[in-house]
A and B are shown apart, each in its own frame.
Chain A
């Protein structure tokens, strides 16, 4: 049992490294583009907010770190979702009899997690130091928020993989879903920007909790009125259990 577990972990490790090496091929400018992409987002949002007449310090937070902590939970969520969804397409790695779909998904998920964590460590400290928001109030809360976003994404990805596998046009729906997630994640706004009568509606979204928790954990000056770690854990467990059950069931279904 223990030997099998170690073997499976070694397989996932090998697949994660293989996936990481494969990503270098798709990024034309190596990992420089991985770093540039979120920077462009953050600066773009900052400028857009300024142009639209937003306040300089949203709800008492420094403007650039506000967006950094808005973008990263979404990045981790999307990374997890992409990895979970990868189960829907047939990978060439499945020709290894010892590799299963779930190994491929976890391998890809771990490599994306590594890339995004590195990115966060490269971006967050200099940006917060530049704005005088260093050190974070509670780094473990921030790490918890982004890791749970990744796990949530993984659960959602596994859930959608079943539908994508039997009905490939579902891809079209996925882009609408991604747009809705982006809008509702709290990347552009925080709970205190919104009138309190709308909080009960916003607080259904566990990703919004993650964004709020990350900001709450980083800034001493911001206290989120809705961030609830217990709710996030509950949602993540339900999504993962449901997603993994879908994945387990879909193993018996041939690829379309």
Chain B
């Protein structure tokens, strides 16, 4: 019941300056709360793809022997010309859940009762963010995989942070992020991903220091693009 990467190497393609990761090894037990920290950039995306099975590594082995969620709250599978209910029904079908009770729970958790039958492209981004989070949070996984923990609008984040904390009590949590601050709230150990491998820490402060050092090392032009997940702009990236 683990997620395990053994000597995984990969690189981005179709770029002038490819991001390269080599010899990444990590082992995540289902009940652990683990952060995967890397300065913002394509390297983190590569790792997320490989862990989910959305892409194959150039070399190395990936084992996923537990029920892992998709990267929450990513929602590129959403049909924005359809309603919240129709999209929730798709997930219920895919995960063989009882449709009516699952949809009710998702709508209640996302707080979108009045928008449930609205076309999603007409709805506010905050509602979509809450909905996409609720889709995953209402399913029983061994490990919940997050790419950001900022769910919904600013005033709603406390409520959703509470839900993530609840999930963490009964399941594993995996957070792949460039924001050490966001990870520290939920995780007690971390892998910091460098070009030459992943460094394991069971101390989040030490992991954050390592992450900051890596972020400072980046060239000036890249550093200007550095936008931590905690900032507002990143919320919309995954939607529609």
Whether the Cβ atoms of A13 and B93 lie closer than 8 Å is yes
Closest partner residue, chain A, to B71 (CB atom): A95
Complex Cα distance, B93 from A13, in Å, reads: 8
Contacts of A254 in B (CB 8 A): 10, 13, 55-58
Contacts of A97 in B (CB 8 A): 52-53, 64, 68-70
Whether the Cβ atoms of B13 and A25 lie closer than 8 Å is no
> Assuming the A-B contacts A7-B96, A10-B93, A97-B68, are A25 and B79 also in contact, with contact meaning beta carbons closer than 8 angstroms in the complex?
yes
Q: Is B74 in contact with chain A by the CB < 8 A criterion?
A: yes
> Which segment, of A86-94, A137-145, A219-227, faces chain B?
A86-94
Whether the Cβ atoms of A18 and B56 lie closer than 8 Å is no
> Which of the residues A24, A94, A251 comes within 8 Å of B52, measured between beta carbons?
A94
- Give the number of residues in B that approach A within 8 Å (Cβ atoms): 28
Complex Cα distance, B54 from A100, in Å, reads: 8
Contacts of B52 in A (CB 8 A): 94-97
Whether the Cβ atoms of B77 and A93 lie closer than 8 Å is yes
Closest partner residue, chain A, to B68 (CB atom): A97
Complex Cα distance, B13 from A98, in Å, reads: 25
Complex Cα distance, B64 from A7, in Å, reads: 18
Interface centre among B49, B57, B70, B94 (most CB of A within 10 A): B94
Contacts of B10 in A (CB 8 A): 254
Whether the Cβ atoms of A256 and B13 lie closer than 8 Å is yes
Main secondary structure of the interface of A (DSSP, over half): helix
Q: Is B86 in contact with chain A by the CB < 8 A criterion?
A: yes
Chain A, interface size category, equals 20 to 34
Complex Cα distance, B58 from A256, in Å, reads: 11
Q: Is B90 in contact with chain A by the CB < 8 A criterion?
A: yes
Q: Is B81 in contact with chain A by the CB < 8 A criterion?
A: yes
Complex Cα distance, B68 from A90, in Å, reads: 20
Closest partner residue, chain B, to A6 (CB atom): B96
Complex Cα distance, B79 from A21, in Å, reads: 8
Instruction: State which residues 28-58 of B face A: CB under 8 Å.
Output: 49, 52-58
Whether the Cβ atoms of A95 and B56 lie closer than 8 Å is no
> Assuming the A-B contacts A21-B79, A94-B53, A254-B57, are A99 and B13 also in contact, with contact meaning beta carbons closer than 8 angstroms in the complex?
no
Whether the Cβ atoms of A24 and B81 lie closer than 8 Å is yes
Contacts of A255 in B (CB 8 A): 13, 55-56
> Which of the residues A13, A95, A98 comes within 8 Å of B54, measured between beta carbons?
A95
> Assuming the A-B contacts A7-B96, A10-B96, A92-B76, are A17 and B55 also in contact, with contact meaning beta carbons closer than 8 angstroms in the complex?
no
Whether the Cβ atoms of A256 and B14 lie closer than 8 Å is yes
Contacts of B77 in A (CB 8 A): 18, 92-93, 95-96
Q: Is B213 in contact with chain A by the CB < 8 A criterion?
A: no
Whether the Cβ atoms of A17 and B90 lie closer than 8 Å is yes
Whether the Cβ atoms of B93 and A17 lie closer than 8 Å is yes
Q: Is B181 in contact with chain A by the CB < 8 A criterion?
A: no
Complex Cα distance, B54 from A90, in Å, reads: 7
Whether the Cβ atoms of A94 and B54 lie closer than 8 Å is yes
Closest partner residue, chain B, to A252 (CB atom): B56
Instruction: State which residues 1-35 of A face B: CB under 8 Å.
Output: 7, 10-11, 13-15, 17-18, 21-22, 24-25
**Chain A residues in contact with chain B, CB under 8 A?**
7, 10-11, 13-15, 17-18, 21-22, 24-25, 90, 92-100, 251-256
